[in-house]
Structure 1
Amino acid sequence: MSPPDPNSLEPSSPHELGVRAQSLLVVLGSISDDPTHLTRLYLSPSHRRAADFVGDWMRTAGLKTSMDALGTVRGSLDATSPGPNAGRRLLIGSHIDTVTNAGSYDGTAGVVIGILAVDEIRRRGIKLPFGIDVLAFGDEEGVRFPTTLLSSSAIAGTITAEMLLKSDRDGVSVRKALMDFGCDPDKIDEAAYDRDEVLGYLEVHIEQGPVLEHEKLPLGVVTSIAGQTRFKCIVLGEAGHAGTSPMGLRRDALAASAEIMGEIERFAREGREHSLVATVGQLIVSPGAVNVVPARVDFSLDVRAATDQPRLDAIAAIRTAAREIAERRHVAVMIESYHESQTTPCATHLQDGFASGIERLGLPVLRLTSGAGHDGHAVQHLTDVGMLFVRCRGGISHNPKEFAEPDDLGLAVEALVGAIEHLAGHFGGDS
C-alpha cells in the first residue's frame, strides 16, 4: 500500500484518516523476521525494513527525516509561525519493535497516527508556534536484549555506554547490533535532546485493556503510567539421575523455581487493590533432559502497580520468600533487577490537550491509568508526558488477535490534531 500522495493537500475526514492508518499498519504488520508470525525485534533486519518504510512515510508527510545513534527514526517539522517557542519542539512518538508472535497495533499505531496527524496539520494549513518531531523508537518491548527503552532513554540523555555491552541469546551485543543496523554507537550523546528545547511528549497507543470497550468509548486520556520493575532470576541446584536421586535429597532447581513462582502469584493476587501484577514470561531449564534433575533455571520476572510503594513492597516480599525457599531446598537463588521505572504521571496540561481534542469530536472524556509500560517512562526524565488511549477489541494485546477499528484510529488522529492545536494556543505566548 502506497503512502498518501504528497501533492494532495486536501483535508481528510476521520474515516479517511482511519482507512489510511489501517493501510499503513497492514504494511508494517507484514514486516517480520519470522515467516509464520509477526516478530520484529529491536535492531533486527525486519526492524531495519520497518524503519525504512516509516522514514518514507514521514518524508511523504512533509517531515525531514534522520536516524539517531540508537536507531530511532525522526521526522521533523519546523514551526510555521513566529513566537518565543519557535525554536522548541513538541515530541510525538511510539515504537516499531514488537514482542514475539505479536499483533500489528502495539506501538506502531502511535507512530502511524503521529505521522498522519502532522500530515493533516500540513493539509489544513494549521500554523504552529513550535516545531514537531515524530519519533519511531525501538527496544520498547525489551525482548531481544536484557534491556528496555534504550531508544527513548537515549533522547532523554539517560543511556550509558555500558548499557550497549548487554548481549542477546546469540552473544550479539547491543553495540554490535547497532553497528550492523547502520548506526554509530559512539554518538549516543548526540541522540539526547536539550531539556530547554522540548515542550512535551505525546504518545497515542492502543489501550491494551478492556476499559474503553466496556465503556463503549473509542478514546481515553491517560492519567499515569504504572511503575514497573524487571528482573533476571537464576536458581542453581545440582543435576542428578532422575531414577536414582531420592526426592528428599534432591537439589531440584526447577521445583524450587516453581514454588517461588507460586509465591509470586500469591503476592500479586493479594495486591489487586493496587493494580499489582507480577508475570514470569520466560523460562529456561538446564540441562533440559527428561531423565535429569534440573540443575539450573533462568526465568524473568515483571512486577507492576499503579503506584510505587505497593510494587516495592511486593518485590521485598518476593525476595524474602525466595530466600526462604532456597534455604529449605538447598539451592541458591539470585534475583537481579535490570530495569526499573517509577510511576509516570501524565502532565495536566497535556491531559487537557487530549481532552480538548476528544471533546471537539463530541465525545465524553474518560480518564484512566495505563497498566502497561511505554516509552513515556523514559521520556519523563526529559520532559512532561501526555498519552491518549485507543480502544482495542477485547482489550487483547501482545497477541496476533490485537485489533483496533479503522474509525477509532481515525478519531485518534483527529484527537491528536486537536491536542496539538490546543497546545499551540497554550504555548503560543509563552516566554
Structure 2
Amino acid sequence: MRKQWIAALGILVLALAIGGWAEAAPVQTCLDTGNTEHIVDTAPEAAAVGAGGYFNTDCHLIIKTSLTGVVATKLLLYAGSITIMGPDVLAPPNPVSVDNETPNSELEIAAKKGNITIFEASIKARTKVVVRCQTSNCMIDVDDSELIASITKTTAFAPPFVGDLFLLAQGDIDSQTSTLFGLNKFVIISYHGNVTVSCPGGSVSGCQDPVVSSRAVELCGTCPLGAVCPPDPRGLPLVFPCTVTFATQDDISDVCFKDRPGVTCGGGGSEGRIQARKKIDLHGSTIKVISHLTIQSTGGCPAPLPLNPAPDPTPNPTTVCINLEGALLVADDLVILANSSAGANSGVIDLCGAEAANAALAPNKPPQAAGATVLEDTGGVSTINGDTAPPWSRIVGGVETIFNGDAECAAPYPDNGALIDGTID
C-alpha cells in the first residue's frame, strides 16, 4: 500500500511540476516493444493521452490514432522521441489528428533524446503550437501534414492575429508538401543543421489520371470472369480488384496519384523567420507572411567558389547557401542573409526565377503602390546579403554571391532571370 501511495504522489508532483499543462495526470507508461515504446493505437489510449498528455523522456511515443477528449488548455507530449503516423488506424484514410480545440489552446510536442516524425497528421491549436527536439543533431521530419496555430485553426489571413508556430531542432528540419502556418508568429529554426521546406502554393499535379487515360486499362485488363473479351482490349469495364506487376521503372513512372491541393506556409502577423546554421532550401515554395520575413543562414555554409578563374564573378552552384530558385516570397519586408565560412553576408543566395511581392494579406495591412515589390522598398529594411537596393549585388573574394541576373542564372540554370526589382533581369 505504501508503494502505491508513493507512486500516486509522484504522479501528482509531476502534474504540478509541468505547470497546468493538463487537468488530468499525464500518461507515463512505456510497455510496448520491450518497454521502449508507447504506441497509441486504441480508443482508450487515445483518450488517456488526450486528457492528460504524455511525459516519459525514456520512451518512444508513437501516435497512430487521433487523440480524443482534449480538455486541457495546454497539452504536452514529451518523450524521448516522437512519431505521429497516419493514416489513422481506427479511421482510415483520415490523418491522425492532434487537435486542441479548447479556448486559448496550446500544444507542445517535444523530444528530449531523439527525432520527431510527423506523417499524414493534422496538428492544431488556437494560440501556440511548438514542435521541438533537444538533443544534438536531432531532426524534425514533416510529410503530407498540417501544423496550424491560429485562433480560428484555419489558414485564413485575418485578424485577430493570434497563433504562434515554432519548429525548433538542433539538427535538420525537413517539411515536404505540408501546411505550416502560424497566424501571429511563423518560426522555423535549425540551430546546427539545414532547413528544407517544399511548400508549393497551388495544387500539386504532375500527370493524368490513369483511369482517364488508357494506362489503367493496360494495367488492369478489361475482361471480367465469365465474360467474352471485347475485340479492343482497351474497352471498359476495368477488372477489379486489380493486381499489377511492374516490370520496369518506366511502368511505375507512368502511373500517378490524383491531384492534391496545394499547401500553405506562412502567417506571420508579427514575425516570419526561417533560420538555419547551414543551408536553407525553399526552391519552388510559396511563403506568405503578413509582416516581415527573415531568411537567414547563420554561418555554416561553404564559402562561395567561382565557376571560372577570376575576374569572372559567376558563382559555383555547389556552394549555394540559400536556395530560393523559383520561389514566391510574399511579405511587407524581406531580409535574406547568408553567412558562410568567409564571413558575414558572404554565402551564395540563388534567386533565379524567384519572385518577391508585397503582402496585402489582411484588412489592416494595405498594399503598397500598384506593381511595387517588397524589394523596391526605399526604407532600407529589405536587404539581400547586406545590400539594400537593386541591382542586388555583393562580391566576396571576387565572386558574386547573389544569383539574380543572366550571368548567374544562364548556366547551369535556365535563363529565366529573377523578378526582384519589378522586372526580369
Q: TM-score range by the shorter chain?
A: under 0.3
Higher helix share: 1
> Which TM-score applies when normalising by structure 1?
0.24
**Structure with the greater alpha carbon radius of gyration:** 2
> Which TM-score applies when normalising by structure 2?
0.25
Higher strand share: 2
